[in-house]
Structure 1
Amino acid sequence: MQAVPSPAQGLPSLGDTEREELSPIMERKLGEQIMHQLRRDRDYMDDAPVQEYLNNLGATLLAVRPDARGEAQYDFFFFAVRDPVLNAFALPGGFIGVHSGLILAAQSESELASVMSHEIGHVAQRHIARMIGKQKQDALIPLASLLLGALAATASPDAGMAVIAGGQGLAIQRQLNFSRDAEREADRVGLDIMRDAGFETAGMINFFGRLQKASRGYNDSAPAYLRTHPLTTERIADIEARTRDLRYRQHADSLDFSIVRARVRVLQNPSTQGLIDAEGAFKRQLQQRTRPEVIAANYGLAFVALRQGNAARAQTYLDQARAVLKSGAPSKAHDAMLTSLAIDIRLAAKQYPEALTEADAARKQFPLSRGIAIQYADALFAAERYDEAASFLRDQVSLYRSEPKLYDRLAKVYAAQNKNALQHMALAEAYALRGGLSAALDQLGIARRSSDATFYDQSIIDARERELKAQRLEELNQEKG
């Protein structure tokens, strides 16, 4: 990775005193360690349409300010966490999480963009790296656990204390509360990013203003976003001063924003009562009669029906959403979300030929959609076209080596083909990508003992086993350090 010889142009800096203690590469490694743990959490929203929306929005913001990626050229990753608490957070190395409650609380796409831009500002300015810069680099794994616990504590003190213990953990927790200067710096960087990306800068003012009003009368029970991002009157005044002379620019919310909020509303509480409550909210939303809200409400009702196991009713609501959609200009993004739901409905109804036809057309129309690629593999498997599924998935894992879902499905296909060695080799990769090195090594052991393991398979197993053992030893040494 080639380093940029000078600081990113146009970005203010708080100083470089600790950069030798935590390099950009080590910062990324720390972020990856935290993500390994977060992805195993049941509240990590591992939902392709939601992730694709957030990452498309993030890519729009970063496209206008590529220098925000820093000298290490971070490949940012945006994700959602299932939690009604209004919060968002930046992790080291370009990982940015948004609570489902914040997505639903945002009253415009510009408000959501303002939060994401602010978090990009924290990463671009390496605020977390500076706060933990004095930690030894050989202690990244325990430090990752402490940071994860501190993040949990912002939403639930009891949950946080189950992860972190003692004064050191509490110190890390306090470090997540950025300094006043760091918050104002992230505000300025974020404001520039969202302005250049075409969003309304008033979105940041509106969002912070509503947070400030919501916090009145609170003490220790203030909204989590205010606890992790201390909001002051000076910060709001600074943003207002910076936007006062800017030319007003109106940004129309995308239909994608309305649809993804409908999806998040269902995913936030998938319990029986949660689905009933969501259904009631969508039916009330239909009364608003605005085109985006009607489409999103019908989409939400279709998704609720699918989660309730009623594929026929889900198809009816989806057809209604598509009928309203035809009255306006087409958009690939929201059409991708509707198509993705259509494929899921076909699969749930066991209409496998129709599901495969739709998935095949969708993967050609949306070649960059990872979610639709996985749905195509699922449709091939459901139609019992195992050879095609295996060939497709092998191509996918060669292109996207860091996606455990692909290896999960490849293992499932190999199992259907009675290819035991290959099945367990694929499972080993899936476990390794999720941070389960011991489980991955166990799977390689099973693969080695499989009667159908070829000499070539044994060679691959030997090489991979050496790599994983070395990686595991490194982690153990870090834990001891």
Structure 2
Amino acid sequence: MLGDTERQDLSPLMERKLGEEIMRDIRGDPDYLDDAPILEYLNNFGGALVAARPEVRGETSFDFFFFAVRDKQLNAFALPGGFIAVHSALMLAAQSEAELASVLSHEIGHVAQRHIARMLGQQRQDALIPLAALVLAALASRAGGDAAIGVFSAGQGLQIQRQLNFGRDAEREADRIGFQIMGEAGFDTSGMVAFFGRMQSASRSYSDLTPAYLQTHPLTTERIADIQARIREQPYKQRADSLDFQLVRARARVLQDESGQGLADAEMFFKIQLEQPGRFQQAAAQYGLAMIALKKGDPRQAQVRFDAARDVLGKPPAAGTFSAAPPTPAPNAILTGMELDIRLAPNQPAAMAQRALREADAARLRFPLSRGIAQQYADALLGAGKVEEATRYLRDQVQLYRDEPKLHQLLAKTYAAQGKIALQHMALAESYALSGASLAALDQLDLARKASDAGFYEMAVIDARERELQERRREQLKEKK
């Protein structure tokens, strides 16, 4: 197989290390959508695709990580080691979960066949040089790059024809793997052609507006014909989209542009969407309007819109419409999280703090795997004045989930409320380090060292962490030369 060649030039462990280094830079980018409901949905959805074909994890059993970036171009890209991104615009353009599954499955195919590792292996150079190019390529991908292949290859001066030939082979193989994943996960495989075909039609109508996904994933007639032939061999599957799919798309629409004009455009879109017949679409529109109301600092209007979403979901489906969902959906983490956001909003009356805490406590027990609700519970503890309890809870959380910057930010907030200045700056240092901001992290450690309450134990931890971050900083500078 294409993905099996030249494996010795870039080990799976090195591939993962490259991906983790790139992710540190991406997490520090303001357009990285660090939104708990979107991240949870993408990772649950993408995880189900991976679980349908476990061998895509490879010999080292990589944990895939799916994330979103704020960008109005239709694109998605894969990074070394199982990190897969989707642009917010592509989430909005996908008309069904089958279409979204076609894109994510294709990117999983690139990772599973180690296309990036093969390209890096062909360079036969020190790994530090490819890392610098990959960081640049990953950040540039929002302007139209995929899997760092195009930018990286151009940087090394490979012949254009060789790049195109490799790209075509890789795309066909990713199509094949992605198609198999979709089918085994129970999705309608025609979603792949439907999505690609709609983008191709758009590019023919507006030649100067070719979707970035088509630029980075060139669709040849041969590829489309091959996908269509595979579809004819598969039994037709009808699968209703989940409520979460519609809710997450509403979140992405609001978060894609949070300017005054952007929110006004989103509001107009949701009001038009309210006229659509589907319950889930109507509920998502009310949910989006509730989110906009919160952005505008109006929790009362947000509650009105949220209640309207609940009312829509309580109604039976309209006659003649297909719905595999029950009239009243099961408890939903995204809806619960929105209701907690409303309870925790700044402009709520003081008495709401205790109610928010009770509901957040119940929610974390109902949804123990939701990282967003776990963070909301910590916010609720702080809002109710239970600072010591919040500190204990967050200290346990950061031990279990060491790679979540928001947990360290919240922990810093609790330490500040207790007047523990050294610990506050140490927690902020961890938050910055996880977000790729090594210099800011070092500055926080310096402030922690100067704090009057820094004892022997804190100083030892500060010194050790400072050495680690300084070494990382030296490596980053060396890589970018």
Q: TM (normalized to structure 1)?
A: 0.90
Cα gap change, 1:255 to 1:75, in 2 (>3 Å)? same
Taking the aligned partners of 2:470 and 2:250, their CA distance within structure 1 comes to 44
Map of 1:153 onto structure 2:
143
2:105 to 117, 120, 131: 117
Map of 1:403 onto structure 2:
404
Shift, 1:72, TM fit: 2.0
Taking the aligned partners of 1:213 and 1:138, their CA distance within structure 2 comes to 41
**Is 1:80 the equivalent of 2:53?**
no
Which string of whole-angstrom CA distances, capped at 9 and with x for unpartnered residues, describes residues 408-465 of structure 1?
1111110111001111111111121122223222222221221111222222222222
Taking the aligned partners of 1:441 and 1:19, their CA distance within structure 2 comes to 37
* Contact 2:293–2:302, Cα closer than 8 Å, also in 1: yes
Shift, 1:227, TM fit: 0.4
* Contact 2:137–2:152, Cα closer than 8 Å, also in 1: no
Taking the aligned partners of 1:50 and 1:324, their CA distance within structure 2 comes to 22
**Is 1:342 the equivalent of 2:312?**
no
> What code does the residue aligned with 2:155 have?
Q
> What code does the residue aligned with 1:347 have?
L
* Contact 2:290–2:302, Cα closer than 8 Å, also in 1: yes
Which string of whole-angstrom CA distances, capped at 9 and with x for unpartnered residues, describes residues 7-52 of structure 1?
xxxxxx2153322221111111211222122222222111111111
**Is 1:144 the equivalent of 2:134?**
yes
**Is 1:38 the equivalent of 2:16?**
no
**Is 1:18 the equivalent of 2:6?**
yes
* SS of aligned partner of 1:132: helix
> What code does the residue aligned with 2:199 have?
L
Map of 1:353 onto structure 2:
354
Map of 1:224 onto structure 2:
212
Alignment of 1:183-194 (within 5 A): 183-194=171-182
Shift, 1:304, TM fit: 1.3
**Is 1:60 the equivalent of 2:48?**
yes
Map of 2:155 onto structure 1:
168
Map of 1:470 onto structure 2:
471
Shift, 1:209, TM fit: 1.5
Cα gap change, 1:178 to 1:426, in 2 (>3 Å)? farther
* Contact 1:404–1:433, Cα closer than 8 Å, also in 2: yes
Cα gap change, 1:473 to 1:296, in 2 (>3 Å)? same
Which string of whole-angstrom CA distances, capped at 9 and with x for unpartnered residues, describes residues 40-76 of structure 1?
2222111111111111100111111111111121111
* Contact 1:21–1:136, Cα closer than 8 Å, also in 2: no
Cα gap change, 1:395 to 1:95, in 2 (>3 Å)? same
Map of 1:3 onto structure 2:
none
> What code does the residue aligned with 2:78 have?
A
Which string of whole-angstrom CA distances, capped at 9 and with x for unpartnered residues, describes residues 357-389 of structure 1?
221111111110111111111111122211011
Taking the aligned partners of 1:463 and 1:17, their CA distance within structure 2 comes to 41
> What code does the residue aligned with 2:48 have?
T
Taking the aligned partners of 2:30 and 2:166, their CA distance within structure 1 comes to 27
> What code does the residue aligned with 2:97 have?
E
Taking the aligned partners of 1:455 and 1:186, their CA distance within structure 2 comes to 54
Map of 1:439 onto structure 2:
440
Taking the aligned partners of 1:297 and 1:181, their CA distance within structure 2 comes to 41
Shift, 1:117, TM fit: 0.4
Taking the aligned partners of 2:471 and 2:330, their CA distance within structure 1 comes to 45
Shift, 1:329, TM fit: 4.8
Cα gap change, 1:149 to 1:411, in 2 (>3 Å)? closer
Which string of whole-angstrom CA distances, capped at 9 and with x for unpartnered residues, describes residues 156-205 of structure 1?
xxxx9xxx899627869996996111101101100110111111011111
Shift, 1:473, TM fit: 3.4
**Is 1:299 the equivalent of 2:287?**
yes
* SS of aligned partner of 2:71: coil
* Contact 2:3–2:113, Cα closer than 8 Å, also in 1: no
> What code does the residue aligned with 2:428 have?
L
Shift, 1:112, TM fit: 0.6
Shift, 1:139, TM fit: 2.4
Taking the aligned partners of 1:447 and 1:177, their CA distance within structure 2 comes to 54
* Contact 2:109–2:174, Cα closer than 8 Å, also in 1: yes
User: Which blocks of at least 5 consecutive residues in structure 1 are unaligned?
Assistant: 1-12
Cα gap change, 1:391 to 1:45, in 2 (>3 Å)? same
* Contact 1:429–1:440, Cα closer than 8 Å, also in 2: yes
> What code does the residue aligned with 2:138 have?
L
**Is 1:202 the equivalent of 2:190?**
yes
Cα gap change, 1:479 to 1:265, in 2 (>3 Å)? closer
> What code does the residue aligned with 2:427 have?
A
Map of 2:237 onto structure 1:
249
Map of 1:71 onto structure 2:
59
Taking the aligned partners of 2:293 and 2:207, their CA distance within structure 1 comes to 41
Map of 2:376 onto structure 1:
375
Q: TM (normalized to structure 2)?
A: 0.90
Map of 1:9 onto structure 2:
none
* SS of aligned partner of 1:313: helix
Taking the aligned partners of 2:413 and 2:434, their CA distance within structure 1 comes to 17
> What code does the residue aligned with 1:98 have?
V
**Is 1:392 the equivalent of 2:379?**
no
**Is 1:416 the equivalent of 2:417?**
yes
Cα gap change, 1:30 to 1:15, in 2 (>3 Å)? closer
**Is 1:281 the equivalent of 2:269?**
yes
> What code does the residue aligned with 1:202 have?
S
> What code does the residue aligned with 2:144 have?
T
Shift, 1:150, TM fit: 3.8
Aligned length: 460
Cα gap change, 1:221 to 1:175, in 2 (>3 Å)? farther
Shift, 1:212, TM fit: 1.9
% identical aligned pairs: 61
* Contact 2:80–2:116, Cα closer than 8 Å, also in 1: yes
Map of 2:118 onto structure 1:
130
Taking the aligned partners of 1:474 and 1:212, their CA distance within structure 2 comes to 42
1:319 to 307, 311, 317: 307
User: Which blocks of at least 5 consecutive residues in structure 2 are unaligned?
Assistant: 316-325
Shift, 1:330, TM fit: 5.0
2:88 to 100, 106, 109: 100
Taking the aligned partners of 1:149 and 1:416, their CA distance within structure 2 comes to 37
* Contact 1:178–1:228, Cα closer than 8 Å, also in 2: no
Cα gap change, 1:171 to 1:315, in 2 (>3 Å)? farther
Taking the aligned partners of 1:177 and 1:214, their CA distance within structure 2 comes to 25
Shift, 1:87, TM fit: 1.0
